[in-house]
Amino acid sequence: MVPPMYRLQPISSHFENFLKNDAGKRQQAKNNWLLVSRRLQKMLLKYASETLGEYSNMRRYFTSLQDLELEKGLIGAEEPSRHCVWFKRTFTDIQHYFEDRKTKEYVDLDPINPQLDPTLTQSLEDLAHDRVHENLLKTCIHEYTIPWCREGVDPTDHSHVVYLDKLCQDVHDTLTASMERQVKRSYRTKDESKYKLFEEVAEHVAFCQERAHSFHGRKDLLHLVKTYVRSNCRAPLVIHGMSGAGKTSLVAKAAKEAHKWFHGTSVAIMARFVGVTGESTNIRLLLRSMCLQLCEIYDRDPEGVPDDYKGLLNDFGHRISNATEAKPLVIIVDSLNQLTDENEARRLLWLPKELPDHVHIILSTLPDEKYDCFKNLKNLYPQIDECFIEVPELPLGDAIMILDHWLNKSNHTLTATQYDVVVAAFKQCPQPLYLKVAFGESMHWHSYTHDGHLKLANSVKKMAVVIFGRMEKIHGEPFVRRALGYITAAKNGITHSEMEDILSLDEVVLNDITTHYRTPLRRCPPIAWIRLRLDLKEYLVERAADNSKPIRWFHTQFQEAAVERYLNARDKAPSYHKVLAEYFIGKWAEIPKPLGGSDAGVKRYVSDQALYFERTCDQLAPGERVYNLRKLTELPFHLIRSQQFEALKSECLCNFEWVLAKLTATSLRAVLDDYYLALEIDAKDTDLKLLSDALQLSCKVLSRDPVQLGSQVIGRLHNIITNDVPTAPQDPLKYPYVHPFFNQAYKASIPTLIPSGTCLTQPGGLLFDLLSGHTEPITAVTTTMDGLCAVTTSKDNTMKVWDLMTGRVTKSIVGVGSETVLVRIAANNKLAVTSEINCLRIWSMMSGACLKTVDDYIDHAIITTAGNGQILVAFFDGTNQMRSWDLADKFKQLQDIQVENNAVHKDRSITVSSNAFGDRIMYAFRSTSSAHVQNARSGKLVHTLQLKDSAAVEALGTTNEYYVLACRYQYMKLHEIFILELFDIRNGNYLRNVRGCTMDSVDEMYINQLGSHAMCISRSEARNTSNIAVWNLETEDHKHLAHHSGASIIGACVDFRFCLTAAADDNAMRIWNLTSSINRPAPKLKHKDGIEDIIPMMENKRYVVAKAMNNGPVTVWNVAKGKCKGSAVRIERGLVDGQDVMLIRNTQVVILTDKGFSNVSEDTQQVFQTVLIYDLRLKKYVSKLSGLYIVPAPSHEYALLDDNRLMGLADNRSHFIIWSLVTGKILYRIRPHFKDRFMLDMSMSKSVQPKRKRNSTAKMTPWERRSESTSAKQRRREGEIEEERQRMLNIHKEKENVVEQYMISGDENVLVASFYAHHLCVFDIPTQTHTHTLENDNSMLLLYTAALTCDGSYLVHANYDEDTKTSYVTLWDCNSGQVRKRIKNEKNVCAIAITDNADRVVFGKENNEIRVWDPFRVSSLQKIKGYPGFDFGVGGKIFLIENGSRAVVFAGDISLWDLDTSTVLAVFTPDMTIQCCNIAMNGKLIVFGLRDSPSVIIMKLMSREIAAINHKGADIFGEASTSGSSENDDKDSFKS
């Protein structure tokens, strides 16, 4: 017989006032309990030792809580010194002050006499010496001795102040060291994104195992799942049933068992349980996670996985198609109904309509109509009822078996009556979830519980309400209500530390708690929350979200019950969200929170909720940040739910640091999701619309490099915000929140290159959507006849069919070839025709099979269709053949005829109309003045459309009324214009034309369905921009729409809603909707000359002078004054004509003009006869020199040595001439003077030795050499001598070469010239002497990639040794003419720079690397890998600043590098072509000019840590009196 057990009851069951709010009654009850507890302790001490005997058995009756904690954390732990520290304080003279009031708080005193309690004192000594000292190292024990004060530890006593400071410092150092060790152990040095994926998968796997372990019964349902997985069904399996029916446990068990159902096959199982992690509820993040895991499963590159929803929707369909027979795929997605509303996730458009081979998908959802999931699944798969499995009620027999199992496992027994109550309640709600909750409730029953108290509610929700009520009774209603309300209101749950802080900010909670607890601080005691959490441990779970483990309700029914009870009924939800928002803002972190009407308030010591934390460990990257994802995720959610829209803008969406943090920590798409959610509330908010548009325009850059946020936003919005000035003082700003956003960007927490004006595409134009799904660049595109679907081919060897309404791939055909250049749709959209280099293929759009291949011809085919898509027509470039096939008659060939050959171009000579009228096809040879209309079926020539001889046909189109010819004409000598020539389609007669503009660039023409408009992609590769040019064929209106960066070369358009464009290297198509703009007036595009060159002034460094392209205006810019950065301080137009040459030095402009035939020479060569000198400061010509003879040359071949000397090349380019700018006469000439190294006399031939060649193919085999006769050997040797003699003679003749290129040192004293030869010449300009010849007989010495020190002492350049076949970077000493240092195997050098003292050389290479070489140090070559997008090419530049410790690199992007730490500090990526780049103010500023903008952009590295530049020099152009700006104004100021 089991002996009876005694169970301790709550204290309040005997002392009813123990928990009362009345302080007097509560204190009396506590005193009564204290007396009883002491009697109980004495009884336990006495009888435990007498009854139990052994110490190990009886110690639990008198062991304190602290003893148990030490036993678990110190004595029972492995290596306790790693995680335990003892701070030991001793009062030296406390034994003399036992009568003091405070003494009992520090030592254990006898309750009656003022002396130490001997038992407790001895226990403490045993604890200290026998346990702590034995288990801890001395380094883990910090000892302090202090004298006793009447108030105990007294912060006013000097010795105690010293002790407290030392204690605080020791605690700080100990905790810091411990945390850093932990961070180092957990620091992830590998791919962060891959680690995050593994963490996500691990959470779902752990949950799956947990639920599978609790699965019992339901073998029939599991068998149905097994049957589906082993079938060839092409639709998903849908498991549905009421909430709590056990769907999740079923699919978890299926996931665990699925590998057993595939015998001998390595099956891949991917499971996602929606709601288990914070990311899994968002369909975009869920799809991206699954796509990344599929890349790992099938060994694919994850770099191609997109971030936007539409791209992921298509990528998911592509990734699952990688499944094979050897490795099939089973995907499980549980609880679809828990997906959030973003991207209409529960419409389930992301599910494929038909599954690929070897793929099975198992889904589960609630059937409730409010979620739409079940209804949408029925609509998606209407004919497959067998793929829908309903989970029925749990059979009673299974329920009893499960209940018995749980009771045995928990070692618990119910009385017969209690057991019957549980079973009877289950019959009312026969669901597994209800059984689990009912079992949990029965655990609170005791054998002595009265039968009248054995009650169970009849649903899970009602049961949850009962549990909530019991918690409120035990822990206090206000405390439980608010705590559970916060869990329910949070987006992704609440962490334990957050809960303690939030409850400490809630006055309702604290007022309730302080009636039971005495707290030294105005904070919620941790034990209060711990007790509640432990009582609810069965119903609260920790789930991964935001790099943490917040707690949430374990089931949606508990969540719904809590919402109804706390967020809707008792409190209003906004009250919870407001407190949570204030907490995540950090509102009360540093300031006291008001209390009881007092403004003074009390400090709560809650987390400040910083946006990020800096990692400072030595082994970690300096300044690496850990972002506060909890704040970034929760704050905007709670601000929206608490209806604080203005705070949402100021704290989040219009707060630069917040946007930067979320952009860096998550993704651009996550940031845009927040903007779109806010715009759903107020679609007309100008601030949010402007910022979201700017971010979307910068999508490509910010996705790759979020740190560029400041430069990208300011580069797009600067002029908009600068011009946002109220008309009247009382008028509001149009963008009130973007102004402070700008100010924050200037003082950002990270260094950013901030431009002085708008230099990127501004928002306000049309925005585009993306069709993403290809993994390699797109090669061709077309649309169906109705324009609602598109077909694309790509280098990834696939052809995809897109539904343009949804952006989804509806068909993917593999194996179409990676070199497809054209694609057309035919036969009522049933066939697709692709053209490769020398092959045509016809594909079935239904089956994806290749029906016919035409590869009999080597020429490239330009294809189109006729006869309503039933005739395929191909024009073969080169042979000028036209061939046609009948697609409706087994692809029978109809025609093979020669067309008239009047081709102008060798390649791409034929252009064909992409649409046809009946059987007629129009074609033309590019750049000719006529087009022809041919009948594709009969082959007869129908019309010849003749134009003026000056016309050049470039593209063709056909409508129901017109033949449309896009023709290029010469316009105003320097320009070209496109005009559409219209011919009558019935008789071929000329009708009229529609004029374009000089900004057009036509390569292919598209006609809309109605035939009312013609369109083309107008691109400028020089500017790296494109737009869509549109002609209205009826009104003859012409406009340019959809201006965007990048040179788009691929396009298609039939419907204005879906105009498609793509650049050469794009994996995605841009979709433009032109319907709202097609009939609106649009401003005419104006041609703007960009900046050709920027010249910093040498005497006044705060100014730069800019030369416009095509001899446009000369502008002067004050780069030091913020108020002057947006506009030039001086503009001079009309200084030069088209053929003049302009040179600039400081404020002096030297113009070489009057080009004509000289009167002083009989030469027929034109020369410059006049020099004009213009002073920019004085705004007038100061000198004119006539009668000169200056041979014309490009402007870069002239140089101003000072204000009075001009240097250029002689007419034969053999030497240099220096003219006086005072008299106009030649001052002197600088000529090379070579000393002959060779005696060409035949008597010296014996001294010439044959050159031994390396790395070259031997002319004789070894056996031929062994059999060679003496005479033959002599003849061979003489031949080699002659060959070497001739080579040396050729090198000697190179001394007669003309000057090819030259460089001048910074101090203008040294000149180095190249002659396209094996030598360079060094000249001293002041003495006009040829000082040295730098020679290398085996290498051509050129100056294309070279740099010269400021004083001309050293020259560094890249060269190639023809003998050793090796590339070098060589450093020459120009004072001695010798090689000082060189490094080999450095090929493809694109740019190079050198410091003034030549101690550092930096060069960039085509493999996107920077090399740092310190030539005077041993082993000093350093390789720095470029960032993604870093691309050195022609025109790249490197500027060394700060004595070579930093470098400004212009390589498409502009970047600033710290060379000592090998890191890039900041990057600016343009979306238009940068024409020129330079540095100013001794490298403190970067200046650049764009190809199509007349403004100079000044860029500076800015952050809150970087001090303002101390600008020196005076304002000399009169701007000081009008600018109103101070000397240290480094930025534009914007209104906050």
CA 711 to chain centre: 15
Q: Is the pLDDT of residue 461 over 80?
A: yes
pLDDT in tens, 939-962: 999 999 999 988 999 999 999 999
- Write down the pLDDT at residue 1118: 92
Evaluate if residue 617 carries a pLDDT over 90.
Answer: no
How many CA atoms lie less than 13 Å away from 1357 in the CB half-sphere?
27
Residues in the chain: 1536
Query: How is 237-269 classified by DSSP, letter by letter?
Result: EEEE-STTSSHHHHHHHHHHHGGGGSTT---EE
Taking the C-alpha atoms of residue 959 and residue 991, their distance in angstroms, rounded to an integer, is 14
- For residue 1258, what pLDDT is reported? 58
Mean pLDDT, range 372-400, rounded to an integer: 88
Residues 6+ away with beta carbon under 8 Å from 216: 398, 401, 402, 405
Which DSSP letter does residue 227 get? H
pLDDT single digits (tens) 1464-1507: 999 999 988 899 999 999 899 999 999 888 999 999 999 988 88
The reported pLDDT for the residue numbered 981 is: 95
Question: What gap in Å lies between CA 134 and CA 1518, rounded to an integer?
Answer: 82
Tell me the C-alpha distance between 844 and 850, whole Å.
6
Higher model confidence: residue 1145 or residue 1509?
A: 1145
Q: Is the pLDDT of residue 1248 over 80?
A: no
**Tokens linked to 317:** 């369909």
**For residue range 327-338, what is the model confidence (pLDDT) as tens digits?**
999 999 999 999
Residue 1406 has a pLDDT of 87
- Per-residue pLDDT band for 1123 (boundaries 50, 70, 90) equals low
Predicted confidence (pLDDT) per residue in 1320-1330, tens digit? 999 999 999 99
Q: What is the DSSP string of 1328-1346?
A: TEEEEEEE-TTB-B--TTE
Residue 188 is predicted with a pLDDT of 53
Mean pLDDT of 515-519: 75
Q: Reply yes or no on whether the pLDDT at 521 is more than 90.
A: no
Average pLDDT value for residue range 614-623: 52
Mean pLDDT for the stretch of residues 307-321: 89
**Least confident stretch, 72-86, 166-180, 790-804:** 72-86
Q: Which amino acid is at 339?
A: L
Q: Quick one: pLDDT band at residue 217, thresholds 50, 70, 90?
A: confident
Is residue 541 scored above 70 in pLDDT?
yes
What is d(CA 257, CA 263) in angstroms, rounded to the nearest whole number? 12
Q: Are 1386 and 1358 in contact (CB under 8 A)?
A: yes
Looking at 1222-1352, which runs of residues are DSSP E strands?
A: 1226-1230, 1301-1304, 1310-1314, 1319-1324, 1329-1335, 1346-1348
Cβ–Cβ < 8 Å for 1236, 1245: no
For 906-953, the DSSP string reads SSS-EEE-SS-BTTEEEEEETTSSEEEEEETTT--EEEEEE--TT-EE
| pLDDT at residue 622 in the model | 42
Per the prediction, the chain carries an average pLDDT of: 87
Q: What is the 3-state secondary structure (H, E, C) of 1180-1198?
A: EEEEEECCCCECCCCHHHC
Indicate if the pLDDT at residue 1247 is higher than 70.
no
pLDDT tens profile 9-65: 888 888 888 777 677 887 888 888 888 888 887 787 777 777 776 666 666 676 777
pLDDT higher than threshold 50 for residue 1243: no
CB atoms within 10 A of CB 972: 8
- Give residue 1292's pLDDT: 78
- Please write the tens of the pLDDT for every residue from 109-135: 877 788 888 877 887 777 777 677 777
What is the C-alpha to C-alpha distance for residues 437 and 459, in angstroms, rounded to an integer? 10
Looking at residue 187, what is its pLDDT? 57
In whole angstroms, give the CA distance from residue 1531 to residue 1508: 9
State the pLDDT at residue 619. Answer: 42
Residue 44: what residue type? L
Q: For position 1184, what pLDDT does the model report? A: 94
What are the DSSP calls for 1389-1408, one per residue?
Answer: EEEEEE-TTSS-EEEEETTT
Q: What are phi and psi of 648, to 5 degrees?
A: -60, -40
Q: Are 1366 and 1380 in contact (CB under 8 A)?
A: no
Q: What's the pLDDT at 1245? A: 44
Q: 1262 pLDDT exceeds 80?
A: no
